[in-house]
Amino acid sequence: MRIMTRLLRIALAGLLVLWTVGAAAAGPAADHVHESIDAVLKILADPDLKTSPKTVERRRAIRTVANELFDFAELSRRSLATHWAART
């Protein structure tokens, strides 16, 4: 019984350490992603942009937020890896 209690305490301590490290590692990158998500949600919630004639404007605004968040050229380069040079 003592061994089980000791193992349980060690496991809980390990989980606590892993949980706090994961939360601390988020930092500024996670904040930037959350800001971008909030910006997109604000665009989607805007009643002026919900009308059908404003669809292009709404998509353009969302695309602007996505372009600020993602480096599409770098994503393409990394996804193609060794094939990048042959494709460009």
Question: Where are the chain's structural domains?
Answer: 27-87
- What is the C-alpha to C-alpha distance for residues 72 and 55, in angstroms, rounded to an integer? 23
Long-range CB pairs of 34-41, under 8 A, 24+ apart, other chains included: 36/65, 36/66, 36/68, 36/69, 39/65, 40/65, 40/66
CA 37 remoteness from chain centre: 8
Give the total residue count for the chain: 88
Answering whether pTM is above 0.85, one says no
Chain segment 19-66, per-residue pLDDT in tens: 666 655 567 888 888 899 999 999 999 998 888 899 999 999 999 999
Selection from 63, 74, 7 nearest residue 36 by Cα: 63
